[in-house]
Amino acid sequence: MTGQNENGNLRSARWWAPDDLRSFGHRSRLRQMGYTPEDFLGKPVIAIVDTGSDINPCHQHFRQRVEEVKRGVWQAGGFPLQMPALSLSEPIQKPSSMLYRNLLSMEVEELLRSYPIDGAVLMGGCDKTTPALVMGATSAQIPSVFLPAGPMLRGNAQGKTLASGTSAWRMWADRRAGLIGRAEVDEIEQGIARSAGHCMTMGTASTMTAATEALGLTLPGASSLPAADSRHAQMAALAGRQAVEVVRLGLTPARILTEEAFDNAVTVVAALGGSTNSVIHLIAMARRAGIQLGLERFDELSRRVPTLANLAPSGEYLMEDFFYAGGLRALMARIADLLHLDALTVNGQTIGQQIAGAEVYNDDVIRTLDNPLWPEGGLAVLHGNLAPDGAVIKQTAAAAELLVHTGPAVVFENYDDMAARIDDENLEVGPDSVLVLRQAGPIGGPGMPEWGQLPLPAKLLREGIRDLVRISDARMSGTSYGTCVLHVAPESAAGGPLALVRTGDLITLDVPARRLHLEVSDEELERRRAAWTPPPAHYERGWGKLYSDSTGQANEGCDLTFLQAGPPTPEPAIH
Ligand code: FES
């Protein structure tokens, strides 16, 4: 599908233009809503795909932003239609919003396909909404502009700046260590999230909106704009105008989402010290575009890109500071030599044109190349007999002294087992231990929840220990930190070697060598494998069953296998 065919005919004209009974029905129903043919005939129909709802605090400003997008669409001669879609609310949806990313992507694809849509503004930002919207529009091949929700303002309480997630994890460790009480928790609860917008650390939301800008799917600078800034509202109107323009220019996702564009996104994520979740999402997004992005590419690019963004959880500042320091355009200008500058964007310009002239206003927030936060990108990809298909670690958010470590495993069968025993005074665990959690992957979780930052045992917290090596097939919030090896593939529920680890086994983590090794002989592992039985399935029906039966593993992007790029899906018949 494209917004218009080679003769310049709009896709929507198939619904509105013919002199037949069906089109009469379509037109009469638009008139039922008060529109006249001057509003819609011959005009690009722009779907405003809105993932806001009353349950999504990060998108609470979308109700107003939809009106601003509509203003832009009308100004440019288009016909705007708001289309609400599944609202994935990261902090509230259970068992994990990740279980529903693919469902939203399917909904977006079919919304765009089954209605008379020529172009779209995709409104998202809260974690999984960004990849899901892009995946859906890519599969539908409808020209689209992505409008990021924008980060919320810095948190503030007790005279201190607070970071989404990151400050909460630290505060809760202090609470469990008995260092703070209920009253202090309450004050932080009031002030940690104090405006519309997504999490304001360089967590998954900020990483994915930045990656989407680097892919060329947003207007320049859009991903860094705080939600509460009046320039964000201006950006919404501009996105509406540009959505009409991308239809006229025929800028389908296929023209934007090239291999070079994905290299740019991975490079930018590395320079940002971005979320580990971006690995899964970018692989899934690329595969919808027919590009076989693999884990190795992340490691290759990450090794040659220094981390320049001094943003939590790896560094000290927040997205509001990043915006004032020049934002993503300025950071990209600083690594321009590492980018494909001729990659096309929805602005009709190249990435090189988009970032030309961008300046950094604070060298501590966006570091210089000779004074990086970390000499490499934040992410490292590990392999070994414990992760034959790979695992991921955010080395910039880990304890430096644990990046090369051998220690005995303490194994938890699943989250409930971990929760029941982690604070047991009799748990045999010490500073050298390696905590292992299984049953937390795409099938086992289910939905690969963000359990990868396993809590530290209370008795070690009281001794002042604040990090241990932790290994799981789970994901971790982009706002989290610690020496957490994540996304171990294949996952334990699918029979991956993580299922075979026993408490007391030695495990070696060597991040510089990109190695994750279980110090158990192949023969012994074969014996254990022969005795292994898969855990019972979580679902016998519904979406959960469809998801569990069809999801790929973490290294494949966790997309449903039948949603990846394939032969074109036919346009709907209209009769
Ligand atoms: Fe929405 Fe973090 S909760 S982005």
pLDDT tens-place string over residues 488-545: 999 999 999 999 999 999 999 999 999 999 999 999 999 999 999 999 999 999 999 9
Ligand 1 atom with least separation from CA of 205: 4
pTM of the full structure: 0.96
| Centre of ligand 1 from the C-alpha of residue 529, in Å | 39
Residues 444 and 503 in one domain: yes
Residue nearest to atom 1 of ligand 1 (CA): 126
Q: Using CA atoms, how far apart are residues 421 and 412, in angstroms rounded to an integer?
A: 9
Mean pLDDT of the chain: 96
Instruction: Say if residue 183 is in the same domain as residue 324.
Output: no
At 143-171, the pLDDT tens digits run: 999 999 999 999 999 999 999 988 998 89
Domain count, the chain: 3
Q: Do 204 and 186 have their domain in common?
A: no
Q: What Cα–Cα distance (Å) separates residue 566 from each residue in 45, 289, 464, 468?
A: 26, 9, 53, 43
Are 389 and 315 within one domain? no
Instruction: Output DSSP code: residue 350.
Output: B
Whether the CB-CB separation of 205 and 127 falls below 8 Å is answered with: yes
Pocket mutation for ligand 1, best pick of 53, 56, 58 (most atoms within 8 Å of C-beta): 58
Whole-number Å distance between alpha carbons of 133 and 121 = 10
Please say which residue of 531, 549, 565 terminates a domain. Answer: 531
Boundary of a domain, candidates 138, 166, 191? 191
In this prediction, residue 184 carries a pLDDT of 93
Atom 2 of ligand 1, nearest CA residue = 199
Domain of 182 in residue numbering reads as 156-191
Contacts of 567 (CB under 8 A, 6+ apart): none
CA of 511 to the centre of ligand 1 (A): 29
The residues lining ligand 1, judged by C-beta closer than 6 Å to any ligand atom, are: 58, 90-91, 126-127, 164, 198-199, 205
pLDDT at 1: 56
Is there a domain that residue 415 lies in? Answer: yes
**Residue 272 included in any domain:** yes
Q: Which residue has the tokens 């997630």?
A: 165
Check whether residue 490 and residue 448 sit in a common domain.
Answer: yes
Mean pLDDT calculated for residue range 25-53: 97
Residue type for 369, please? Answer: L
Domain at 36, CATH number: 3.40.50.2300
pLDDT for res 539: 97
Is 298 within 8 Å of 334 (Cβ atoms)?
Answer: no
Ligand 1 centroid–CA 131 distance in Å is 14
Query: Does residue 2 carry a pLDDT above 60?
Result: no
Pick from 125, 97, 136, 314: nearest CA to 227: 125
Q: How far apart are CA 352 and CA 101, in angstroms?
A: 31
- Calpha distance 393→511 (Å, rounded): 8
Nearest Cα neighbor of 261 from 291, 235, 238 is 291
* Cα 199 to averaged position of ligand 1 atoms, centre (Å): 5
Same domain, 93 and 171: no
Query: Which spans in 452-541 are helix H?
Result: 458-462, 522-531
Percent of the chain's residues with pLDDT above 70: 99
pLDDT of residue 349: 97
Read off the pLDDT band of 9 (50, 70, 90).
confident
Residues 231 and 173 in one domain: no
pLDDT recorded at residue 480: 82
Do 114 and 234 have their domain in common? yes
Which pLDDT value is given to residue 112?
Answer: 98
Residue 177: which pLDDT band, with cuts at 50, 70 and 90?
Answer: confident
pLDDT score for 7: 53
Report the residue among 88, 123, 126 best suited for mutation to probe ligand 1: largest number of ligand atoms under 8 A from its CB: 126
Tens digits of per-residue pLDDT, 91-131? 999 999 999 999 999 999 999 999 999 999 999 999 999 99
Query: Does residue 370 lie within any of the structural domains?
Result: no
Comparing 171-175, 258-262, 457-461, the range with the smallest average pLDDT is: 171-175
Q: Which candidate, 164, 130, 394, places its Cα nearest to that of 272? A: 394
Six token digits for residue 2: 């494209």
Can you tell me which atom of ligand 1 is nearest the CA of 165? 2
Say how many Å lie between the CA of residue 129 and the centre of ligand 1: 10
In a domain, 386, yes or no: yes
* Residues 279 and 235 both lie in one domain: yes
Inside any domain, residue 538: no
Which atom belonging to ligand 1 lies closest to the Cα atom of 479?
Answer: 2
One domain, residues 80 and 164: no
Tokens 């992507």 found at: 105
Q: Which residues pair with 366 in a beta bridge?
A: 309
Q: What does the alpha-carbon distance between residue 420 and residue 437 come to, in Å, rounded to a whole number?
A: 13
Mean pLDDT computed over 245-258: 97
Residues 171 and 235 in one domain: no
Indicate if the pLDDT at residue 458 is higher than 70: yes
Residues 234 and 168 occupy one common structural domain: no
Residue appearing with tokens 């692989």:
283
- Residue 1 forms part of a structural domain: no
Q: Is residue 552 part of a domain?
A: no
In the predicted structure, residue 4 carries a pLDDT above the cut 70:
no
| DSSP H/E element including 282 | helix 277-288
Rounded to whole angstroms, the Cα distance separating 424 from 301 reads 42
CA of 286 to the centre of ligand 1 (A): 23
Q: What is the pLDDT of residue 381?
A: 96
Dihedral of the alpha carbons of 136, 477, 548, 125, in degrees to the nearest 10: -20
- CATH number of the domain to which 526 belongs: 3.50.30.80
Q: Whole-angstrom Cα distance, residue 323 to residue 90?
A: 23
368 lies in some domain: no
